Amino acid sequence: MSFEKLFSPIKIRELELRNRVVMSAMGTHESAASEDGRMVTDKLIAYHVARAKGGCGLNTIEVCSVDAASAPTGFLSIADDRYIPGMKKLCSAVHAAGGRVAVQLWQGGLAVASDPQAQILLPSDMPLSPEYTVPGITEERIQSVIEAFGQAARRVVEAGIDVIEFHCAHNYLPHSFLSGGINRRTDGWGGSFENRKKFPLACIQAIRANMPEGMPLFMRIDCQDDMLEGGLTIEEVIDFCKCAGDAGVDVLNISRGNILTAATVYEVAPVDIPHGFNVEPAARIRRETGLLTMPCGRINTPEMAEDILMQDKADLVVMARAQLADPEFCNKAKAGKLNSIKYCIGCDQGCYDYFCRCLEDPSLEHITCLRNPAVLEEETMALRPAPQAKKVLIAGGGIAGIEAADALYKRGHHPILCEAGDTLGGQFVLAGAAPRKGDFQRAAYMAAENIRDLGVEIRTNTPVTPALIAAEKPDAVIIAIGSKPIIPNIPGADSGCVVESHKLLAQKDVSAGKAVVIGGGLVGMEVAEFLAGKGSSVTVVEMKDSVLGELGQLRKIGTHMAMAQEDIQVLVNTTCKEIRADEVIVEQDGKERMLAADLVVMAIGSKPVPSQDLQDTCAEAGIPCYVVGDALAAPRLALNAIHEAYRAALSI
């Protein structure tokens, strides 16, 4: 597939982009490391340069505060002239790499609350607790913020930036004014839709007045408000976008989500949300406004992007996390090297979850990515040629072993990947058998195909043993043999009706009228959905007071939304006491109850597969040995396994 439309140029006003791929703004938290916590850093420049060199058509710098009093730390700012030099330096570097740059102008509304020193600005009074209500913005501050947008645009132009994007989505102040679900004002800035449009339109006019005629203006806008009473309808959004077009907006970046409700799941949509979920709303908005349009949201393959453009549903395509996962995404797709792309799987572990953690934990500098440990460490963690080629024996053909082999090969080493079973991919493949997680399975298969394409030596049905290490005499060993299930000491746990969770997910044909799943972690809930999808009535038994404890916020929301559609009952604060032929005895709140069960699935966790004999063999022979992933400690996230494997490959 040639992806001719995706990689064709497009001209917007006087700016020509080399292709239709846009990396939209993504918070990195990297600016927290700067002098005042709001400036461009060298790491941020290297991050954007890598994506420009990788072929991206337009890099959008993350949200930039326009108003100094409400500018939180950990987010970029353009609220003062002192921020111009950093922006200029970033822009020049991206231009030298062949790319183009957009800056997203932002007033964060409620979202700036992550910094207690930042002023929260809302259109009208909002109670945050019984003791505290955030007062609505005053008329004077309304005018000052409008002016701030205009002055921010002036600074962006002075920095040599190619595109300005106005953020009018996700509960930030312009969207909050526009939405009837948030704006409760009774003066000329609220009430009717005509009044609610005034503030964002005034911001657009102030921005446009400070831009050259030939410079494009983009706008990020929600296609609708979900789960928000009185919120925006798509008809209102279309009406507003027509007005925005008249005011000087050229391109609509169609998004979705708000932080006031569970609809926040749509902002950085996890694997639970369908691919391209904004495409059809964006296509309608495009038809009815006549404006250039680009949808975002779970568009992670070049095939999908090309199809959207060829069906004339959009003019550009937002592929942001796709380029977190692989900065060379565009170049690889254009060259047809599809197996070599490290595809975003929508896990949210390194991007959204890490960003939230960064706001609370100063030891975490910035976001990362499960598929790409070098995010924002493009210089410090680059795969540079090794000083000396070495033979490296890798035990385990799961995703950690595959990624270690890939990194080692690219550094010039000779990896030998040994897998005890007959296929590669390990638990990543099994995870892909769970509902909505096909991206995991596809990523594992393509990663395996990639190392085959490279010519990596792969030996299946070959467990690594002390004898194999002695025979091969490798220069280094990486142990990535994963974990095995914990089987609890419960009467009846060895009966015929009991199956371990991973074995169940590996089966294609499963039939059970009534099933009980012991364990309400991620794997347990995936098993519950897997069985419910095949017609079973499922009860999940969890000792703790909640399920899905290891999941981040958005994946947890997505999973709960899906579970609500299935025949799944969850019992928390409940202990399994005994398993019998057709029932499970549990205790909840000091009382025993019986659960009918044709099938019982154990999903209470895992422990590392023992590898001390391999480690001892390496120590005796003086061979450097690296234990990674669940083989080191279990259970953990795939992000941990891949990052440890990558660092091991860098160390050899």
635, amino acid identity: P
DSSP state of 354: H
Ramachandran category for residue 164: left, alpha or beta (phi over 0 → left; psi -120 to 50 → alpha): beta
Q: Which residue has the tokens 């994506």?
A: 51
425 CB-contact burial (10 Å; exposed 0-12 / middle 13-18 / buried 19+): buried
Contact 278, 284 (CB under 8 A): no
Whole-angstrom CA distances from 313 to 63, 285, 291 are 26, 10, 12
DSSP state of 137: P
From the candidates 172, 354, 409, 646, give the one annotated as an active-site residue.
172
Token representation of residue 533: 């999808």
- What is the sign of the dihedral through the CA atoms of 611, 613, 616 and 618? negative
Q: How big is the chain, counted in residues?
A: 652
DSSP state of 508: S
Token representation of residue 186: 């009774």
How far is the first Cα of the chain from the last one, in angstroms, to the nearest whole number?
Answer: 37
d(CA 244, CA 225): 18
DSSP state of 114: G
Task: Map residue 553 onto helix, strand or coil.
Answer: helix
Task: Map residue 616 onto helix, strand or coil.
Answer: helix
Side-chain half-sphere exposure of 289, counting CA atoms within 13 A: 30
Contact 88, 46 (CB under 8 A): no
d(CA 611, CA 129): 52
Give which of 488, 484, 497 is closest to 597, Cα–Cα: 497
d(CA 79, CA 84): 9
172 is catalytic: yes
Contact 228, 260 (CB under 8 A): yes
24 CB-contact burial (10 Å; exposed 0-12 / middle 13-18 / buried 19+): buried
- β-pairing verdict for 10-12 and 15-17: antiparallel
Token representation of residue 149: 């947008």
- β-pairing verdict for 591-596 and 583-588: antiparallel
DSSP state of 263: G
Contact 258, 285 (CB under 8 A): no
Active site residues: 172
